[in-house]
Amino acid sequence: MTVKIFMRKLTALLLNIFVWLFSITCVFPFIWIVYSSLKTNREFSLNIISLPTNPQISNYISLIKDSNMYIAFFNSAYISLISVAIIILIGFITAYTLSRFEFKGRTIIYFLFLSGMLIPRHSLLVPVFIFFRNLGLYNTRYTLFLPYIAFGLPMTIFLMESFIKTVPIEIEESAVIDGCNIFDRLFRIIFPVCKPVISTSLILSFLGTWNEFPFALILIRSTRLKTLPLWLTNFNGQYSTDYTQLMAALVIASLPVIFVYLVFSKRVVQGMTAGAVKG
C-alpha cells in the first residue's frame, strides 16, 4: 500500500515538473531577451546565458536618442487607438441593429460580416495593395485605418451581437416611454449594459492592430509612417549583428501588449476563447 502511495506521489511530482518545464519554455525566451538587452553586445557574445554583471540601459538610450523608433511607436499607438475606437463605435451600432431589428437583408448583411472571419486574409494582400494604390490611398497617414477597421469589425460585431441578444428589450421599452430616441437608447441605455463585451472587444482589437504586420508591409513605405512591426523588420536589416540592441527594440515594441495582458489577463483569455471558438 505504501509503495502504491509513493508511486502515486512520484507520478504527481513528475507531472508537475513536466508542466513546469513547459511553462518555463513559454516565458524564458522572452525573459532571456529582457535581461540580455541590459548587456553590451560584447558581454553578450562572451556568454549568451549569464545575467548581466553590470546591467546598463545604453541599448535603450541609444534606441530612444539615435534611432527613429519613437516615430514608429507613435504611429503604432496612433493607428491602433483610433482604429480600436472606430471598431468599437461602428461595431456596436452594427451589432445592435443586427440583433434588435427585423428587416430585409438582415441575414445577408450578418453573413457578409461573418465571412470576414472566414476569408483568408493573406489572399487580400496583393488585391488591397493594387486597389489602394489606384485610389491614391497608398502610403498615407490614414491608409491602415481601413483594413484594420474592416478586419476588426467581424469579431467585434459577432461578440457584441450575441451579447446584446441577451439584454432584455424591456429596459428599452421603458426608456422609450420616457421619451428616449434611438440614439439615447443606443448610447445611454444599451452601451453601459454592454461594458463587459465592450472591454473584451477593446482588448482584442487593440492586440490585433498593434501586432498587425502584413498590411503595414504592403501599404506603407515611408519611414515616417511605419508601424512598430514594420520598423523592426527594417531595423534588423541595418543592425543584424547588434543583438542586444535588437533585443531592447523587441522589448520596447512588446511593452504595451504585455501591459495589457498583465492587467487584463482574464479578459484577454476569455475573449480569445470566445472569439476563436465562435469564429
Partner 1 sequence: MNPLTPKKKYIYLMLLPGLVVFIFAVILPLFMSVRYSLYQWSGGSSMEFLGIGNYLTLFSDSQFWHAFRNNLFIVFYSVIGQVGIAFVLASLINSRILKFKKFHRTVIFFPVVLSAVVIGFLWTMIYSRQYGLLNWLLESLNLNFLIKYWLDDPNIVLYSVTAPLVWQYIGLYLVIFLSAMQGIPREIYEVAEIDGATGFKKAIHITMPLLYDTILVAIMLCIAGNMKVFDHIYVMTGGGPGRSSMVMAQYAYNTSFSMFKLGYGSAISMGIFVLSLSLILLSRKVLGGFRNDS
- Whether residue 255 contacts residue 185, with contact meaning beta carbons closer than 8 Å, is answered with no
Residue 243 sits in the site that holds partner 1 (CB under 8 A): yes
The C-alpha atoms of residue 22 and residue 274 are separated, in whole angstroms, by: 25
Find the binder of partner 1 among 122, 142, 166, 238 (CB under 8 A).
122
Sorted by sequence, the CB contacts under 8 Å of residue 240 that are 6+ apart come out as: 246
Closest CB 261 distance from partner 1, rounded Å:
5
**Buried residues in 225-259 as b, exposed as e (16+ CB within 10 A):** bbbbbbbbeebeeeeeebbbbbbbbbbbbbebeee
Residue 5 sits in the site that holds partner 1 (CB under 8 A): no
In Å, how far are 131, 150, 200 from 79, measured between CA atoms? 20, 13, 19
Residue 114 sits in the site that holds partner 1 (CB under 8 A): no
Find the binder of partner 1 among 71, 82, 146, 193 (CB under 8 A).
146
The C-alpha atoms of residue 212 and residue 127 are separated, in whole angstroms, by: 18
Residue 18 sits in the site that holds partner 1 (CB under 8 A): yes
Residue 73 sits in the site that holds partner 1 (CB under 8 A): no
**150-169: contacts with partner 1 (CB under 8 A):** 150-151, 153-154, 157, 169
The C-alpha atoms of residue 263 and residue 64 are separated, in whole angstroms, by: 26
What is the x/- site pattern for partner 1, positions 35-54, by CB under 8 A?
---------xx--xx-----
**194-223: contacts with partner 1 (CB under 8 A):** 207, 210-211, 213-214, 217-218
Residue 69 sits in the site that holds partner 1 (CB under 8 A): no
Which CB, 71 or 138, lies closer to partner 1? 138
Residue 247 sits in the site that holds partner 1 (CB under 8 A): yes
Closest CB 66 distance from partner 1, rounded Å:
20
- Whether residue 52 contacts residue 31, with contact meaning beta carbons closer than 8 Å, is answered with no
Find the binder of partner 1 among 40, 62, 67, 97 (CB under 8 A).
97
Structure-block grid coordinates of residue 50: 549569464
Residue 25 sits in the site that holds partner 1 (CB under 8 A): yes
Which CB, 1 or 118, lies closer to partner 1? 118
Angle formed by the axes of helices 228-238 and 69-100, nearest 10°:
150
Residue 269 sits in the site that holds partner 1 (CB under 8 A): yes
